[in-house]
Amino acid sequence: MRENPYAIPIEELIASAQVAPEAQIEVQTEHRAVVPDWANPVHPYGDEMSGDADGD
């Protein structure tokens, strides 16, 4: 069986796949408040207390 011409060493794969934490963070300069849309029956916070719809 012939060797795969597209294969790369695992060290090279890991080195090319790692991303610095600073590059993973998106900085938002202004706060975006959630404006309730009373015409839409879906509320973004569900039960007003937590981020899920059933309150658990």
Q: How confident is the model at residue 32 (pLDDT cuts 50, 70, 90)?
A: confident
Instruction: Answer yes or no: is 54 within a domain.
Output: yes
Q: How confident is the model at residue 41 (pLDDT cuts 50, 70, 90)?
A: low
Token readout for 38 is 């009373």
Instruction: Answer yes or no: is 52 within a domain.
Output: yes
Instruction: Answer yes or no: is 48 within a domain.
Output: yes
| Distance from C-alpha of 24 to C-alpha of 53, rounded to nearest angstrom | 29
- Write down the residue that tokens 């007003």 correspond to: 48
Q: Does the structure show a pLDDT above 80 at 14?
A: yes
- If one counts the domains in the chain, the total is 1
Instruction: Answer yes or no: is 46 within a domain.
Output: yes
Average pLDDT over residues 24-50: 68
The pTM score is 0.32
Supply the pLDDT for residue 11.
92
In terms of residue numbers, what domain contains 53? 29-56
Rounded to a whole number of angstroms, the CA Rg of the chain reads 23
